[in-house]
């Protein structure tokens, strides 16, 4: 799960980043409107946490840009106390939730989890796909009720596939989603192959189906109609 944190108070942005990293999220930071705008136009996120008052622009415009790009990201506004107009404007243009500063990081985390569940998995606490059951709160995966031990990257990859079932995912989008925006500095995405190979093997070893298809020259597809 990849999260963009748009916040110009550097100490707050970093404390959010540290907390969410410990919770297992991949985080990117933008301290300015310009940087946030660049990132939302180049990359995809599962969730964007956006402060409205930025030194060089309004976070509301970031929300507008996400909507214009038809982004699937969940959007949580974090803004100053008494900024009721910002809250109403933000929710009207498509933000999903709103937190008033100061807030507890555990509350932000709970809102993110519920938002991602609502958006990607129809609000369920468990993600179920045929013989696969995932409990995202504990990062547990079961195949036919047997626990599957995955690395963090394999787990994130499985979640990414399950939230994009039957869609072709390019190697670039998988790399970006799992390793973050700096991955575009690499000249090859071949390292993904090893992770996919291991994930497939572990699932098949537990008696699961081999859902992940290689789409030659493009990427991979989690095909649940096999
Ligand atoms: Ca601010």
Percent of all residues in the chain with a pLDDT value above 90, rounded to a whole number? 71
Ligand 1 centroid to Cα of residue 147, in Å, is 44
pTM for this entry: 0.81
Ligand 1 centroid to Cα of residue 56, in Å, is 10
Ligand 1 centroid to Cα of residue 95, in Å, is 17
Taking only the tens place, the pLDDT of each residue in 144-158 is 999 999 999 999 999
The whole-angstrom separation of Cα 224 and Cα 226 is 6
Query: Which two structure tokens, joined as six digits, stand for 158?
Result: 């499985």
Band of pLDDT at residue 93, cut at 50, 70 and 90: very high
Ligand 1 centroid to Cα of residue 6, in Å, is 9
Cβ-proximal residues to 102 (8 Å cutoff; 6+ apart), any chain: none
How many residues would you count in the chain? Answer: 226
Band of pLDDT at residue 185, cut at 50, 70 and 90: low
Q: Please tell me the predicted confidence (pLDDT) of residue 125.
A: 78
Angle at 57 between CA 103 and CA 29, to 5 degrees: 55
Q: What's the whole-number mean pLDDT along residues 74-85? A: 85
């Amino acid at each position: 799960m990849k999260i963009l944190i748009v916040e110009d108070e550097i100490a707050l942005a970093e404390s959010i980043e540290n907390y969410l990293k410990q919770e297992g999220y991949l985080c990117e930071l933008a301290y300015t409107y310009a940087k946030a705008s660049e990132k939302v136009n180049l990359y995809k996120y599962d969730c964007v946490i956006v402060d409205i008052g930025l030194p060089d622009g309004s976070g509301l415009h970031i929300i507008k840009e996400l909507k214009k790009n038809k982004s699937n990201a969940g959007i949580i506004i974090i803004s100053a106390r008494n900024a009721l107009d910002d809250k109403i404007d933000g929710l009207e243009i498509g933000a999903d939730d709103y937190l008033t500063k100061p807030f507890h990081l555990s509350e932000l985390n709970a809102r993110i989890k519920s938002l991602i569940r609502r958006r990607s998995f129809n609000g369920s606490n468990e993600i179920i796909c045929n013989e696969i059951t995932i409990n995202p709160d504990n990062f547990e995966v079961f195949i036919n009720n047997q626990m599957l031990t995955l690395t963090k990257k394999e787990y994130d990859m499985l979640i990414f596939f399950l939230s994009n079932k039957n869609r072709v995912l390019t190697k670039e989008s998988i790399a970006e989603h799992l390793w973050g925006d700096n991955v575009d500095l690499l000249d090859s995405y071949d390292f993904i192959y090893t992770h996919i190979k291991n994930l497939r093997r572990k699932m098949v070893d537990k008696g699961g189906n081999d859902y992940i298809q290689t789409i030659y020259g493009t990427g991979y597809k989690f095909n649940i109609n096999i």
